[in-house]
Amino acid sequence: MTTRTGYPVRCDCGHEGAIRMSENDQSYSANWESYTLVGLVGGTYSVSNRSADWEEVFEQTTPACPKCGGALLPSNLV
């Protein structure tokens, strides 16, 4: 089974989006995490057999605000 959790992100201009983390929560199977941006511009990121930290997620997905174009950082997590 997959668990999905949304983490809100707010740009300095006030626009709000989220980072959605999907993770495998099934016992006795390989761990994985997948990160997708919601309402933001950027890419996706996945890791297997470990957990990613926020610095890594932001570095790999390069989230930006679709309203003002500003780059978002872990400090923008709400």
> Residue range 48-52: average pLDDT?
90
Query: Cα 42–48–62 angle (5° rounding)?
Result: 15
Q: What is the pLDDT of residue 25?
A: 76
Q: Do residues 12 and 54 lie in contact, with contact meaning Cβ atoms separated by under 8 Å? A: no
> Which amino acid is present at 57?
V
Q: Do residues 33 and 11 lie in contact, with contact meaning Cβ atoms separated by under 8 Å? A: no
pLDDT over 90 (residue 2):
no
Q: How far is residue 14's CA from residue 53's CA, in Å, rounded to a whole number?
A: 24
Going by pLDDT thresholds of 50, 70 and 90, the confidence category of residue 18 is: very high
Q: How far is residue 58's CA from residue 71's CA, in Å, rounded to a whole number?
A: 10
Name the residue ranges covered by the structural domains of the chain: 2-76
